[in-house]
Each structure stands twice: as structure tokens, then as C-alpha cells.
Amino acid sequence: MPVWDVSNAKHLLSRCLFGYSRKDLDKALSYTTLNDFVEKELLADRPLPSSPGDWVTETPVNNSLEGDRYRAMTYWWYDLMLSEGTNMREKMTLFWHNHFVSARDKVNYPQHLYIQNNLFRRSAWGNFRQLTKDVSIDPAMLIYLDGRLSNGSTPNENYAREIMELFTLGVGNYTENDIKQAALAFTGWQVNGLNAVFTQNRFANTNKTIFGKTGNYKHGDVVDLILEKPEAAEFVCRKLFKEFVFYKPNEAFVKQMAEVFRKNNYEIRPVLKFMLTSDEFFNPQYRGAKIKNPMEVTIGTLKAFDLTSEQVNTTNDWPYIYTQTQALQQQLFYPPDVQGWVGQRDWISSTTFVTRGSLSDYIVNTMGNAKATQFKQINTPVSYARTFKTSEDATKLVDDIVGLFLQFPISAAKKQSLLSTLLGSTILANWSTSTPGAENQIKALLKAIMRLPEFQFA
């Protein structure tokens, strides 16, 4: 079992949460072992949150409210991410949203994507077999991949293809005939209001041959047949590894994960625990090697400044985050296509890197600015610096803020440059948060840290 210390705790939190605060780090280190923290905090069951509004139970009808409701639902999810504490359920909810992809450009009614989002949250580390069966007849998925239009005489192959290619097996582990036969098994399901309904006379009530086995299969049977193939467990575990450990999977370790997955009948929690408490997860070469996604950048920055969900102004603060995550190319409920957000290097371009820098500059500029429109609840620069016990020792203050904001050590030259930025025209011996100009120098330091390339890595 890896040692449970500050370094490993920071690495674990940075991968399993949307950023973390010093309070979160202290909470993690209050546990004596990594195993205890993972079991009792990261993977602990919690009550489901209340909905974003009564409208989620309204029967969908055409009106002009869909855009506003999608936006309200997005703000609601931001709030859940910011208030996640030391529990990774919201991170897993986003993982499944990006795995079993549906998007608002085709799913017109937010009610349907709310139902799906709640399914992912409820099943975050439940049973993958059951989750896949549930997703197969989920209203949003039936709409997004045209399952609702499929019937026995004219089966639609979209879902049958994607469940094999993108959701469970990967290319090369099925045939075109498997897809055609599975498409027949997925027929019969339609969407009526908020619900998926099975219509017997639209079902292909005949034998199908899938992976060499024959029977009058329905949707759940197809999932069971898929999960009999060893490639399925490896496919899902490979995606988990790439998301939480490293973008280039260690195939030997992926096979170990898959063995745990299969032995536990595709229960997700045991394989997550195996991964997160392994020596492989804490391999030094993986530290700071994941490019933060836009939600990790935005929500994580707010957490680093100790902003809580109670302090966020929904009218002003979340709209800014919404426009910024759009510009950074991750709008929740709107992945680009059925493959979802690819991530890693795709997050950084000449445009998005500039946007990331302007985002952090903007948030720092609001500190102590009475005229600021957003984030008025963030501490003033001096007040924020004084939340560090080392605030009056410039060298140690730089060390502490760098330690909070960055996941791996920076060079001595960069550290010296940051110290010079904090001091400005003041000499080291005269540094104090009470001196004139300290406010601007602290702002300059925070901007400089978040402008470092290292800030973009988790």
C-alpha cells in the first residue's frame, strides 16, 4: 500500500476531484491510511442531491424554456462540483457522461438529460452491467442514437454499433453481422413523455445470432453477451486508467484491473479502489502529467481561492464560468459528438491556452475589486495571503502557494522569478502584507503562478 502523505494526497485529490482546497487536503490527511480515505471519503455513498427545479418532472412540450433550463441545469452541476468535498461521485458522473455520450443538440428536452445525468450519478460506482442495460433504454440515449425510431422491420443500427465500438468492446472485437443482429434485439423501445416504453409489436420477435450464439435476444441479453467477452472489462478499465492515471495505458496493469472487474461481476467500486490504492497510480512518472479539463481549471481555481458554493452568486458568477468553459471547449451536456471529449492534448490550442490565462487573470483581478461583477466573495489579495501561516515570510509564502496550485516542483529559477514578482521593488527583509503595494504584488504573484504551463497539469 502506498504511503499516505501530503504528496500522495495532493496527487490523489487532483485526479479524483475538480481541484481541491486546503481544507480538502487537511480532511484527506486526517485519515491515517490511504485505504481508509478512499473507502470512507472518495468512494463513500451519499444522498442524491435535490433537482435543479420542479420542471424536471414536467412532461416535455415545445416551448422557449429549453435553453434557459439547460443553462440552469449546467449551473446546478457546477454547484455540485464545487461542493463535492472529498467525494469523487461528481467526477465519475462526468466520466460516464463522456463515456455513454448524449448531447443537447439532439436531445431537445433537458428533462431527458437530467434523468440520464441522475442515472450516472446514482450508478457512479455501482454495477456496470446494470448501468449499461439502463443506458440502453434511457430516454436521452434512445433519442440521441435513434433507438426510438427503430423497429423490427427497419432496425436502426446506431446504438448497436456504438455500444460495441465506443461503450464496451472497441474496434476489432465484433463483426458487422453482430451489429445488425444486436440492432434487432434493441428494437421495441420508444420515448413517451419522460419515460422509455416497450412496444411489443415494434420488437423483432425472432432469433438473433450474436458472437456465435443464437436466441430471441432483447436489449439486456445483448449486454450480457458483450460482457462475456474479456475485451469488455479491459476496454472499460483502459478508459478508467486513461482518465485517472495516465493517457498512455499500462496494458499489464489494465489487465489486472479487468480481472478485478470481472471477479466482482462488473461492480465499479472494487476496480476503482484497486486502481486508486495501487502503487501504479502513484508512480512518480504520472505526477502532473494530465492536462486539466476546463471543469478542473475553472472549478479548481475557485476552490484554490477557498470559494464555496454558498458564496457563489448564481446570477453573476456561474454565467461567467459558462462562457469560459464554452470558450475552452467543454460545455456540459454538449459533448462534440458520440466519441465525447477526447481530452489531454486536445484541451490545449493556441486559442484555449490564451483563454486559460485570461480566465485566471480575470479571477485574480476581481480580488478586492469593489467594481467587479463576478466573484465578489473571494478574499482580497492580502486577506487571502494571510490565510497562509507563512504570509509574512515571502520565500515560504511563495513555496506554500506554489505547493497548493501546482502538482510538481518547479525549477529554482522559476521559484526565484516568482519571488521577485511578489517582492516587486521591495527587498526580501522588508516584505510584509501590511506594506503599501502588497495587494498588487500578491495579485501579480498569483497571476504569474497560474500563467505557468505547470498550472495546466493535474
Q: 437-447 pLDDT, tens per residue?
A: 999 999 999 99
Q: What is the pLDDT, as a whole number, of residue 370?
A: 81
Using the 3D structure, point to which of 228, 245, 270 is the last residue of a domain: 228
Residue 65 has pLDDT above 90, yes or no: no
| Domain-located, residue 144 | yes
| Domain-located, residue 200 | yes
How far out from the chain centre does Cα 315 lie? 24
Domain that holds residue 299: 294-456
| Domain-located, residue 337 | yes
Question: Is the same domain home to 211 and 334?
Answer: no
Question: Is the same domain home to 435 and 322?
Answer: yes
Residue 130 has pLDDT above 90, yes or no: yes
* Total-model pTM: 0.97
**Higher pLDDT residue, 372 or 244?**
244
Q: What is the pLDDT, as a whole number, of residue 409?
A: 87
Q: What is the pLDDT, as a whole number, of residue 1?
A: 85
Question: Is the same domain home to 401 and 354?
Answer: yes
| Domain-located, residue 96 | no
Q: Count the neighbouring beta carbons within 10 Å of the beta carbon of residue 341.
A: 19
Q: Count the neighbouring beta carbons within 10 Å of the beta carbon of residue 442.
A: 26
Tens digits of per-residue pLDDT, 294-346?
A: 999 999 999 999 999 999 998 999 999 999 999 999 999 999 999 999 999 99
Across all residues in the chain, what is the average pLDDT?
Answer: 97
Tens digits of per-residue pLDDT, 1-29?
A: 899 999 999 999 999 999 999 999 999 99
Question: Is the same domain home to 301 and 394?
Answer: yes
Question: Is the same domain home to 349 and 328?
Answer: yes
Q: CB–CB of 182/222 below 8 Å?
A: yes
| Domain-located, residue 138 | yes
Question: Is the same domain home to 434 and 337?
Answer: yes
Question: Is the same domain home to 135 and 157?
Answer: yes
Q: What type of residue sits at position 312?
A: V
Question: Is the same domain home to 200 and 245?
Answer: no
| Domain-located, residue 330 | yes
- What is the rounded CA–CA span in Å between residue 79 and residue 90? 10
| Domain-located, residue 54 | no
Q: How many CA atoms lie within 13 A of 15 on its CB side?
A: 26
The number of distinct structural domains making up the chain is 3
| Domain-located, residue 212 | yes
Residue 254 has pLDDT above 90, yes or no: yes
Question: Is the same domain home to 301 and 445?
Answer: yes
Question: Is the same domain home to 413 and 368?
Answer: yes
Question: Is the same domain home to 222 and 234?
Answer: no
Question: Is the same domain home to 327 and 438?
Answer: yes
